[in-house]
Amino acid sequence: MNNPFREDLVSKNKPDPCSVVIFGATGDLAHRKLVPALYNLTVDGELPSGVKIVGFARRDKSDDTFKDGLEKLNKEVSRSGHDEYVWDRFSQNIVYHRSNFDDIEGYRSLAKRLDEIDAERGGKGNRLFYLSIAPEYFDDVLEKLNEVGLNEAAEGCWARVIVEKPFGKDHASAEHLNEVVNNTFHEKDTYRIDHYLGKETAQNIMVLRFANSIFEPIWNSGHIDHVEISCAEHFGMEGGRGGYYDSAGALRDMVQNHLLQLLSLVAMEPPTDLSPDGVRDEKVKVIRSLRKLDTPEKVRKNVVRAQYTKGFVNGNEVPGYREEDRVNPESETETFVAVKTYVDTWRWSGVPFYIRVGKRLPKKATEISIHFKATPSVLFNQQGSDKAEENVLVIRIQPDEGISLRINSKLPGAAIRMESVKMNFQYSTSFGKSSPEAYERLLLDSMAGDATLFARRDEVEEAWKFVDFIQEAWKGQHDIPLAEYEAGSWGPNEADDLIEAEGQDWRRF
Amino acid sequence: MTELGIEVPIESIAKELKALWAGNSSRTNACMMNLAVFTENPEHLEDNSQVISELTKDHSCRALSVALDRHSSESDTTLWLTAHCNMSNGKKTVCCEQLSFLLKGYKPGRMRNTVFANLNSDLPLVFWWQGELTEVFEPQLYTLIDRFIFDSSTWPEPKKGYEKIMEAAAEVQKRFTIQDIAWKRSYNARMAFAALFDEPIHRKELVNISSASVKVGKGLETTGLLILAWMATQSEWEFHSKNSKNAYSFKNTVGNLIHTTLDVGGSVCIAEIGMKSDSASFSVECRADERHVFHQKIKTQTCIRNSTSPALDLDTNELVAMQLSRGGKNALLSKVIPILMKLMA
């Protein structure tokens, strides 16, 4: 029996009250994203009452010192602002549970604590375990949860696990991690976060494609010349990120997850329904259909990797990557990747997809651009006359969220001269209500049991298979160079060559 | 009337609108909807301009503010033009047009024509009707309205007003989503109350409920009736009888009688919503000295739980702003109306 009074009060998903156990609760993610997200949901009245937050971590803290630390960050980052009264009430539902990840007694006492919380709430309850920890601790945490039975839900309740990226560092490790997770939790209770999927603009890709009749008939190789998916960041290794990043690199940090997820949303077939598996079935087909770069030669021809050298960003001089804090001075980690790939399906045959990601580029922007084919060389596009620019549909994921369409228009005057103009829709000037942040949406969805915006096991593993070929080629020292680019530029010349080989060029942001 | 902008001849609207934007490329004209605001109190025209200025900060629109002075001995139309501009993300200036009309003397169809002639094409028409529904609310007007916002708590005869609304809704069917501010006013209270039944074990008590009560502030009887109607509809109670003023009985799905009361008075907008059975009570209360929170209370044989939920004491203009953010057909309000009509009978 659903709660009849919830009808129409939440737009789609009805989250269940639960205990949220955050492993790694003293870490940055919990402080900057997870707890502020739960706080914002409380401010909006969206968080079910009775939600308790249990922070599980190794450091020696009391409930109060833990909450003080959370409050300090919440004041800085909460999108709703920080209200003392609301925080006071909200924080009454936060407790700290100190334990090492490999200490079984810590889990036994956790189980006891959760039972007490459930009793106080009026019966056995739901549990959400958030693994905000490095993957090397997954085994310990999941095995211990299994051992004390916390992975098993009481009748009528649920127990779910949320895992953060990086989800492995290659296919083999991802497969192993999936086995470890699925030995403890069923796949239906496993939620792999890719926070890009929680962004309003990423969710809007499906609405744009399938709630408007004009796009689907032209969303194919008959009309589209190529697709670009770019994620540019202007920052480098601030905040001590160098340590983590140097072991990951752009390919694993961004391409394997976020950018392939965006690609799958752009390239997928219409799902049969909007159920989580209905959507994810179509997405995983796209990833499986990516043309494999299964030889070093193919990698050399279709992938560019590069590392930034010193330069200027936002008027400030910045060091090169190898001079950054916590980065190996001889590092071969790429901070920039450009990949040319194809989705070998009937819809997309022959249409190149260019994926580009880089740090220390001139500005921060994540955009998808669909470049349509040029008009025939008659009428307005003849040889020797002003060329009509191709039409481009741009989906701006962040910042300046919105959609624009570039079309050609006649310039006023007697002669027929053309110029490109932009039809532009912007979230900022269109919708009054500010969207919940990605983590707010994702946490609510996990409490409601909706996995649509979470990556499924096969999606993750197939994405790793694609990326593994590239990693192997780089590791195998097959004379695949690590190019350089100046910080503040748009990347290495080699990336320009990659796209110019097809007579195209990167869209200027 | 400087709040309304510059006075322009009505036959030059198109030219004047163009001139408003010409030569100023630093401003962006943003428009997601047509927002018509209608009042039969001409003195509200300037106030409405201020209200629209606030609304456009978050809701870009072409605003058509119309005031009808039906008792005027004259018979003409005066028009003013202005733009409400706001900074967007601290970067660019985003502006919305406002056309204000003062219609002197009542002429059937003139208000309708005024609105229709000045709509921004292909965009939805959101119509905010201030005050009682008069004969100006007629089929040729409402068949083209996409969202109709009103406040039934301002009507001297809410039942008659709702009968007109239902007649219009039945006639139009495809569009015409109704949005009652009196209903929206209770949103946070309903959210707080709904949370009391999130646990399955508490929902099991619903079949044992024997009484329910609602307390609302002075002048908000319709809001109180809407809340009662909502509780009854969602609990699948059938209306049984009206026992006295503001006391009603219902029967639940197993034939048990539930006695309900509505108290109107005091300064707190929604002071209490509660349900009780022999062994449990569920309530949401808002105190005069703590208006920004609802105190949620659950007391059963196995648990006592107190928590809080936000209570936004919003004025009419803020409630309208919330309505403008809303999509969908407002199906729940439509579902609640049949019982509401019985309570108002």
Which residue among A5, A85, A121 places its CB closest to the CB of B194? A5
Residue A99 φ/ψ, nearest 5 degrees: -170, 150
**Close Cβ partners of A374 (under 8 Å, ≥ 6 residues apart):** A225, A381, A387, A388, A390
Q: Is B94 in the same domain as B199? A: no
- The answer as to CATH 3.30.360.10 being correct for domain A197-375+456-500 is yes
Taking residues A89-111, report their average pLDDT.
94
* Antiparallel, parallel or unpaired: β B92-104 and B61-69: parallel
Q: Is residue B188 less than 8 Å (CB to CB) from chain A?
A: yes
Residue A75: the pLDDT is 93
Number of Cβ within 10 Å of residue B16's Cβ equals 16
Please report where in the chains the tokens 């590791």 appear, as a residue: A475
> How distant is the Cα of B80 from the closest Cα of chain A, in angstroms?
24
Residue B241 domain-assigned? yes
> How distant is the Cα of B75 from the closest Cα of chain A, in angstroms?
38
Residue B151: the pLDDT is 95
Residue B320 domain-assigned? no
* Number of alpha helices (DSSP H) and beta strands (DSSP E) in chain B: 11, 17
Minimum Cα–Cα distance from B227: chain A residue: A5
Residue B308 domain-assigned? yes
Which residue among A11, A44, A50 places its CB closest to the CB of B199? A50
> How distant is the Cα of A9 from the closest Cα of chain B, in angstroms?
7
CA–CA gap between residue B53 and residue B102 (Å, rounded): 18
Question: Mutation test of the interface with chain A: which of B59, B198, B208, B235, choosing the one with the most A Cβ atoms within 10 A?
Answer: B198
Q: Name the residue with higher pLDDT: B26 or A207.
A: A207
Cβ–Cβ gap B236/A4 under 8 Å: yes
Q: Is residue A6 less than 8 Å (CB to CB) from chain B?
A: yes
DSSP string of A353-406, one letter each residue: EEEEEESS-SS-EEEEEEEEPPPPSSGGG-TTSPPPPPPEEEEEEESS-EEEEE
Q: Which residues 101-160 of A are in CB contact (within 8 Å) with B?
A: 120-123, 125, 156
Q: Is residue A17 less than 8 Å (CB to CB) from chain B?
A: yes
Q: Is the pLDDT of residue A433 over 60?
A: no
Residue B339 domain-assigned? no
Question: Mutation test of the interface with chain A: which of B179, B199, B322, B335, choosing the one with the most A Cβ atoms within 10 A?
Answer: B199
Question: pLDDT exceeding 90 applies to what percent of chain A?
Answer: 63
Q: Name the residue with higher pLDDT: A370 or B11.
A: A370
Residue A156: the pLDDT is 83
Q: Which of A122, A204, A142 is nearest to A431 (CA)?
A: A204
CA–CA gap between residue B277 and residue A268 (Å, rounded): 53
Q: Is residue A425 less than 8 Å (CB to CB) from chain B?
A: no
Taking residues A174-203, report their average pLDDT.
91
Residue ranges per structural domain of chain A:
4-164, 197-375+456-500
**Close Cβ partners of B249 (under 8 Å, ≥ 6 residues apart):** B240, B241, B242, B243, B257, B258, B259, B260
Q: Is residue A449 less than 8 Å (CB to CB) from chain B?
A: no
Q: Is B6 in the same domain as B71? A: yes
Q: Which residues 247-306 of B are in CB contact (within 8 Å) with A?
A: 292-293, 296, 298, 300, 302-303, 305
Cβ–Cβ gap B332/A8 under 8 Å: yes
Domain A4-164: give its CATH code: 3.40.50.720
DSSP-based helix, strand, coil % in chain A, nearest 5: 40, 20, 40
- Chain A positions touching B188 (Cβ under 8 A) are 45
Structure tokens at A489: 């530029």
> How distant is the Cα of A483 from the closest Cα of chain B, in angstroms?
36
DSSP string of B289-339, one letter each residue: TEEEEEEEEEE-SS-EEEEEEE-----HHHHHHHHHH--S--HHHHHHHHH
Q: Is the pLDDT of residue A384 over 60?
A: no
Residue A124: the pLDDT is 61
CA–CA gap between residue B315 and residue B318 (Å, rounded): 5
Cβ–Cβ gap B198/A4 under 8 Å: no
Confidence of residue A350 (pLDDT cuts 50, 70, 90): very high
Please report where in the chains the tokens 């620019």 appear, as a residue: A389
Q: Is residue B187 less than 8 Å (CB to CB) from chain A?
A: yes
Which residue among A7, A86, A122 places its CB closest to the CB of B199? A122
Structure tokens at A430: 């269109």
Of the residues B161, B181, B201, the one at which a domain ends: B181
Cβ–Cβ gap B30/A429 under 8 Å: yes
Cβ–Cβ gap B325/A433 under 8 Å: yes
Number of Cβ within 10 Å of residue A211's Cβ equals 9
Q: Which of A469, A376, A393, A388 is nearest to A228 (CA)?
A: A393
pLDDT in tens, A404-426: 999 988 877 777 777 778 888 87
**Close Cβ partners of A478 (under 8 Å, ≥ 6 residues apart):** A296, A299, A300
Number of Cβ within 10 Å of residue A269's Cβ equals 13
Residues of the domain holding B291 = 186-313
Cβ–Cβ gap A17/B198 under 8 Å: yes
Which residue among A9, A120, A156 places its CB closest to the CB of B194? A9
> How distant is the Cα of B344 from the closest Cα of chain A, in angstroms?
22
**Residue B69 β-bridge partners:** B104
Q: Is residue B228 less than 8 Å (CB to CB) from chain A?
A: no
Q: Which residues 32-61 of B are in CB contact (within 8 Å) with A?
A: 32, 57-60
Q: Is residue A429 less than 8 Å (CB to CB) from chain B?
A: yes
Q: Is B14 in the same domain as B142? A: yes
- Pick the range with the lowest mean pLDDT from A3-12, A304-313, B51-60: A3-12
Segment holding B86, helix H or strand E? strand B77-88
CA–CA gap between residue A407 and residue A401 (Å, rounded): 20
Residue A113 one-letter amino acid = R
Q: Is B174 in the same domain as B275? A: no
User: How crowded is the C-beta side of A504, counted as CA atoms within 13 Å?
Assistant: 25
Question: pLDDT exceeding 70 applies to what percent of chain A?
Answer: 95
Residue A221: the pLDDT is 97
Number of Cβ within 10 Å of residue B222's Cβ equals 27
Residue A12: the pLDDT is 58
Q: Is B150 in the same domain as B193? A: no
Mean pLDDT of chain A: 90
Minimum Cα–Cα distance from A50: chain B residue: B307
Q: Is B251 in the same domain as B174? A: no
**Residue A307 β-bridge partners:** A484
Of the residues B181, B208, B226, the one at which a domain ends: B181
Residue B55 and residue B64 in contact, taking contact as beta carbons nearer than 8 Å: no
**Residue B283 is part of a domain; what is its CATH number?**
3.30.360
Q: Is residue B77 less than 8 Å (CB to CB) from chain A?
A: no
Q: Which of B140, B144, B132 is nearest to B109 (CA)?
A: B140
By annotation, the residues of A acting in catalysis are: 258
Task: Answer left, alpha or beta for residue B159, where phi above 0 means left and psi between -120 and 50 means alpha.
Answer: alpha
Residue B183 and residue B226 in contact, taking contact as beta carbons nearer than 8 Å: yes
Residue A383: the pLDDT is 58
CA–CA gap between residue B326 and residue B148 (Å, rounded): 12
Residue A159 and residue A185 in contact, taking contact as beta carbons nearer than 8 Å: yes
Which residues of chain B are under the pLDDT cut of 70? 1-2, 23-27, 87-92
Residue A447 and residue A128 in contact, taking contact as beta carbons nearer than 8 Å: yes
**Number of domains comprising chain B:** 2
Q: Is residue A430 less than 8 Å (CB to CB) from chain B?
A: yes
Q: Name the residue with higher pLDDT: A167 or A413.
A: A167
Q: Is B26 in the same domain as B83? A: yes
Rounded to 5°, the CA angle A450-A451-A454 comes to: 145
Cβ–Cβ gap B307/A50 under 8 Å: yes
CA–CA gap between residue A209 and residue A304 (Å, rounded): 30
Structure tokens at A434: 């500010």
Q: Work out the widest C-alpha separation in chain A, in whole angstroms.
A: 85
Cβ–Cβ gap A1/B203 under 8 Å: yes
Taking residues A155-181, report their average pLDDT.
91
Structure tokens at A283: 């997405």
pTM (2 d.p.): 0.80
Question: Mutation test of the interface with chain B: which of A3, A86, A396, A430, choosing the one with the most B Cβ atoms within 10 A?
Answer: A3
Residue B270 domain-assigned? yes
CA–CA gap between residue A387 and residue A377 (Å, rounded): 9
DSSP-based helix, strand, coil % in chain B, nearest 5: 35, 35, 30
CA–CA gap between residue B77 and residue B9 (Å, rounded): 9
- Chain A positions touching B30 (Cβ under 8 A) are 429-430
Q: Residue A130: helix, strand or coil by DSSP? A: strand
Residue A23 and residue A132 in contact, taking contact as beta carbons nearer than 8 Å: yes
Q: Is B275 in the same domain as B173? A: no
Burial class (CB in 10 A: 0-12, 13-18, 19+), A215: middle
Cβ–Cβ gap B94/A429 under 8 Å: yes
Q: Is residue A85 less than 8 Å (CB to CB) from chain B?
A: yes
Q: Is residue B237 less than 8 Å (CB to CB) from chain A?
A: no
CA–CA gap between residue A215 and residue B124 (Å, rounded): 22
Residue B340 domain-assigned? no
Which residue among B28, B292, B325 places its CB closest to the CB of A432? B325
Q: Is residue A382 less than 8 Å (CB to CB) from chain B?
A: no
Cβ–Cβ gap B198/A6 under 8 Å: yes
Q: Is B64 in the same domain as B153? A: yes
- Name the DSSP class of B157: -
Structure tokens at A157: 């309740």
Cβ–Cβ gap B310/A428 under 8 Å: no
Q: How many interchain CB pairs under 8 A, A with B?
A: 104
Cβ–Cβ gap B305/A50 under 8 Å: yes
- Chain A positions touching B203 (Cβ under 8 A) are 1, 3-4
Please list, residue by residue across A12-21, b when 16 or more beta carbons sit within 10 angstroms of its beta carbon and e when fewer do: ebbbbbbbbb
Q: Is residue A4 less than 8 Å (CB to CB) from chain B?
A: yes
Structure tokens at B234: 């969602």
CA–CA gap between residue B150 and residue B316 (Å, rounded): 10
Q: Which of B98, B103, B41, B18 is nearest to B64 (CA)?
A: B98
Residue B321 domain-assigned? no
ipTM: 0.78
Q: Is B34 in the same domain as B126? A: yes
